[in-house]
A and B are shown apart, each in its own frame.
Chain A
Amino acid sequence: SQQGEEDPQALSIQEGENATMNCSYKTSINNLQWYRQNSGRGLVHLILIRSNEREKHSGRLRVTLDTSKKSSSLLITASRAADTASYFCATMGWDTGNQFYFGTGTSLTVIP
């Protein structure tokens, strides 16, 4: 399988704390994206980082990419109960036929 893997599989934190989840992948990539999925809903795009970028910010989200280690991390600062969801990384590259391959997801619970 060309899927990535997120770590941890599940994460539970108190509101206001920071949440960090990691993604490891197997092939060379052009870009890596993070998506959020609320229970029973489709995935929603959060942020995209290209292979020549090392860090990107969007609001309370910070994404890092280390292509030498084939890994990425998503940091959500000052978490809110509304951040409770599953988070998936998706990679795309020439080695994957220019298709997106999704990781297995991290389930985040933010306790009010």
Chain B
Amino acid sequence: NAGVTQTPKFQVLKTGQSMTLQCAQDMNHNSMYWYRQDPGMGLRLIYYSASEGTTDKGEVPNGYNVSRLNKREFSLRLESAAPSQTSVYFCASSERQAVEKLFFGSGTQLSVL
């Protein structure tokens, strides 16, 4: 029972490099989310997908893009990484948007040098 799986767990990038964070859930959930967690800031929503085929911006979308590849997978792309994007990234899913509890992956720790 994997739940929400994120890859990679750790990543170091140089400024300007690009990368994609992968997320997959096996709970047949409709909604998926990407959050970043910074010290003293709690979790902030980057992008979300209420259902397959839709994506919307959250609180801090600048510098990121997302793709809802299918119902299971939701990826987050950094096109040109900046030191300000050093953070821990969490993917989450829920059965439906806006009502249900969130299930989180174990996170990706990203450092941009």
User: Chain A: residues with CB nearer than 8 A to chain B?
Assistant: 1-3, 30-31, 33, 35, 40-45, 48, 88, 90, 92, 98-105
Of residues 1 to 54 in B, which have CB atoms within 8 Å of A's CB atoms?
Answer: 4, 33, 35, 40-45, 48
Query: How far, in angstroms, from A31 to B97 measured CA to CA in the complex?
Result: 13
Q: Tell which of B41, B44, B99, B107 touches A41, judged by Cβ atoms closer than 8 Å.
A: B107
Residue pair A45, B103 in contact (C-beta under 8 Å): yes
- 13 pairs, A vs B, C-beta closer than 8 Å: A3-B42, A33-B101, A41-B106, A42-B90, A42-B92, A42-B104, A42-B106, A88-B43, A92-B99, A99-B48, A100-B33, A102-B44, A104-B42
Of A2, A48, A102, which one neighbours B101 at CB under 8 angstroms?
A: A48
Tier of interface size on chain B: 20 to 34
Closest to A4 in B: B42
Q: Which residue of A lies closest to B105 (CB)?
A: A42
Q: B80 to nearest A CB, angstroms?
A: 25
